[in-house]
Structure 1
Amino acid sequence: MDEYVWPAGPEAPAAHQVRESWEATVAALPLGTHITGEVVGRRRFGVFLRMDGVPNAIALAEITALPREMDLPALGAFVSGEVIRHADHNHQVKVRLDEWRAADE
């Protein structure tokens, strides 16, 4: 399997579930909310997360926030971070991972 995969399978919600739940997702995860979740997809631009307690949502931690000396978390890794933005156009919750923030400090 290619290391860089889209989130798919039973660990990731279907696209229609994400769209239908978007308003509830935004209400449940205001900016600044601390989340935890599992890496369910990796792309060269970041990692996709299935967040604990919000089953029909996908978060994206983009490499723009990745410190140069760090690597993307592996598929299946459990991570935590903070909600920094809601991308309405593609129904993604943007997250900055705690481990990335700690490396910058």
Structure 2
Amino acid sequence: MEEYVWPAGPEVPAANLVRESWEATVAALPVEARITGEVIGRQRFGVFIRIDGVANAIALAEITAMPHGVGLPALGTFVSGEVLWHAAHNHQVKVRLDEWPAADE
């Protein structure tokens, strides 16, 4: 498996469903809301998360919110965090994770 992968597979909502559900996503996940979910994609700039309990919602935890000296969570890892803002241009919920793995994990 490659270290960096885009979200893909049957568990990832289609782009049109994410777009169509955007208003409901924003209403369900206001800024400062707590989220949990599964890491479904990894890129150098952060991880994509399928958010539990909110159909067709995708979150992004960017490396700009990572503490120094930590790594990206692995695919399939369950994480939790807080909503920072909503990126309407690409229908992503931006989050800050509660914990990041140590760089050597």
CA distance in 2, matches of 1:25, 1:51: 10
For structure 1, list consecutive stretches of 5 or more residues without a partner in the other structure: 101-105
Shift of 1:3: 1.6
Shift of 1:55: 2.2
Q: TM-score, length-normalised on structure 1?
A: 0.92
**SS at the partner of 2:99?**
helix
Shift of 1:8: 1.0
Percent identity over the alignment?
A: 78
CA distance in 2, matches of 1:10, 1:59: 17
Q: How many residues are matched?
A: 100
The structure with the greater share of residues assigned to helix is 1
Could you tell me which residue of structure 1 aligns to residue 91 of structure 2? 91
Could you tell me which residue of structure 2 aligns to residue 29 of structure 1? 29
Shift of 1:22: 0.2
Verify: 1:50 aligned to 2:50, yes or no. Answer: yes
Q: TM-score, length-normalised on structure 2?
A: 0.92
Shift of 1:77: 0.2
Per-residue CA deviation, residues 47-103 of structure 1 (Å, 9 max, x unaligned), is 000010012010000000111111000000000000000000000000000015xxx
Could you tell me which residue of structure 2 aligns to residue 39 of structure 1? 39
For structure 2, list consecutive stretches of 5 or more residues without a partner in the other structure: 101-105
Shift of 1:30: 0.3
Could you tell me which residue of structure 1 aligns to residue 6 of structure 2? 6
**SS at the partner of 1:8?**
coil
**SS at the partner of 1:99?**
coil
CA distance in 2, matches of 1:9, 1:20: 19
